[in-house]
Amino acid sequence: MIELSDVHKSFSGVEVLKGITASVGRGEVVCIIGPSGSGKSTILRCINGLESYDSGAITVDGARVDRASPGIISIRTQIAMVFQRFNLFPHRTALENVIEGPIYVKGVKRAEAVPRAQELLARVGLKDKANAYPAELSGGQMQRVAIARALAMQPKAILFDEPTSSLDPELVGEVLAVMRRLAEDGMTMVVVTHEIRFAQEVADRVLCLDHGTILEEGPAKQVLTTPQHARTQEFLRRVLQPI
């Protein structure tokens, strides 16, 4: 459903994506791993048009992603995004964050959106935090609200941009648990992550990126346990045994 073919992208003369070709099928969970600055996040941001790309093509269900075209709004309502720093709206409660998109973007009636949002908050384990403001929540709780906000758009896929990287270690588990359940429910997910164990358990496929190219790609187990490329081996060794 998401296709990238030969995508190139430069930031002020520095090429960060050097011809990325990849695809994500419906119901598939794809994890993108790789060292910092390898272009992982940029791929996600290009898929829902937060960044433009210079050449190549990205399509979602056949529709071309073009940040500058009005069609981008329809693509964004189909592809939700969860950010590293949550990006909840601080002036709205958890519930209001979740109903914002359905009501104001999709035109769902409030009477319909609210019970659905409550359901979603219950699903991420935050039933009792519906009326809390983001400032009153922990990082893990904020990220779970952000996931509920993404789900409220009833997206075809969710992009996760390092969803646990700015969390305290003891809060990582609760967010990963929610994501694991989503994967089990058949949600299409693209996850940029450093959580190798999560990738091993949940991902169908893993892409390993380095310097803007796909170093290695394949079934999660294969890439993560018996990597072919020396640089993938080196990266995994550093992530799994940092000391």
Partner 1 sequence: MTKFLADISEFLPILLQGLWLTIVVTVGSLLLSTALGMVWALMRVCRVRWLQRLSALIVNGIRGIPIIVQLFYIYFVMPELGVTLTALQAAIIGLGIAYSAYQAENFRAGIEAIDRGQIEASESLGMGWALMIRRVVLPQAIKIILPPYGNIMIMMLKDSSQASTITVAELTLKGQLIASSTFKYTSVLSMVAVLYLVMSVPLILFVRWLERRMGEARR
The residues of the shown chain that bind partner 1, judged by CB under 8 A, are 48-50, 73-74, 76-77, 80-81, 83, 85-91, 100-101, 104-106, 149, 153
Least Cβ distance, residue 104 to partner 1 (angstroms): 6
Least Cβ distance, residue 71 to partner 1 (angstroms): 11
| Cβ-proximal residues to 199 (8 Å cutoff; 6+ apart), any chain | 31, 33, 191, 193, 206, 220, 224
Among residues 53 and 83, whose Cβ is nearest to partner 1? 83
Least Cβ distance, residue 66 to partner 1 (angstroms): 14
Give the span between the Cα atoms of 128 and 198, in whole angstroms.
27
Cα–Cα–Cα angle for 149, 154, 160, nearest 5°? 55
Q: Are 8 and 53 in contact (CB under 8 A)?
A: yes
Q: Are 100 and 140 in contact (CB under 8 A)?
A: no
Least Cβ distance, residue 2 to partner 1 (angstroms): 15
Torsion of CA 49, 54, 60, 63, to 10 degrees: 100
Least Cβ distance, residue 132 to partner 1 (angstroms): 16
Q: Are 13 and 41 in contact (CB under 8 A)?
A: no
Among residues 40 and 149, whose Cβ is nearest to partner 1? 149
Among residues 45 and 129, whose Cβ is nearest to partner 1? 45
Among residues 102 and 227, whose Cβ is nearest to partner 1? 102
| Cβ-proximal residues to 183 (8 Å cutoff; 6+ apart), any chain | 29, 189, 202
Among residues 47 and 203, whose Cβ is nearest to partner 1? 47
